[in-house]
Amino acid sequence: MTPAINAAKKAKIPYTVHEYVHDPVCASYGLEAAEKLNINPSRVYKTLVADLGGEIVVAVIPVTAMLSMKLLANSAGAKKAAMADKSLVERTTGYVLGGVSPLGQKKRLRTFIDASARSHPTILVSGGRRGLDIEIAPEDLARMTGGNFAQLTQ
C-alpha cells in the first residue's frame, strides 16, 4: 500500500490499482504505463509540481501533452510558473520523481487538473511509486485533492 492508495481507500471512492514492471531505462513513465497496461495514452495523466514564486502547486495533465507554464500561472492567479526543484518536490510530496501521485501527499498542495480529464469516465494517475497507477474518476480526483479543472496544455 502507498499513501495514494490509502487515501483512495479512506475516501471510499471507486478505484482500480494497476501494476506493471517498471523499466528504469524508460524515458517516459506515463507512456510506459499506457503501453504496459494496454491503455489509451490519452487516459494516463502525469503529476507535475510547479513553483509559482514561493507557492508549490500540482498540475495533473495527460502524458501525451506538455504543461503550459503560462496557462498554469493564469489558472492559479500567479505571474509566472516554473517546474519545482526535484528535492523540493520529493520533500513536499513524500514521493520520488516518476512516482509522484496527486493523492496522499505529505503536504496538501493546491491542485489543477487539465480540463481534458473530464472527457474520460476514468483516468490513471500515479499510485505513489513507479510501476503503480490508480484508475479514478476525474471528479473523484478533484474532490480528493480539492483540485480545480483548468486548461493547462495547448
Q: Do residues 88 and 51 make contact, with C-beta atoms less than 8 angstroms apart?
A: yes
Q: Which tens digits make up the pLDDT trace of 6-57?
A: 999 999 999 999 999 888 888 788 888 888 899 999 999 999 999 999 999 9
Alpha carbons 5 and 12: distance in angstroms, whole number: 11
Q: Which tens digits make up the pLDDT trace of 94-139?
A: 999 889 999 999 999 999 999 999 999 999 999 999 899 999 999 9
CB count, 10 Å around CB of 92?
18
Outline where the chain has alpha helix (H): 3-11, 29-37, 69-76, 86-93, 138-145
Torsion of CA 119, 141, 17, 62, to 10 degrees: 50
pTM of the model: 0.95
Q: Which amino acid does the sequence have at 56? A: I
Regarding beta strands 16-19 and 56-62, do their DSSP bridges make them parallel or antiparallel, or are they unpaired?
unpaired
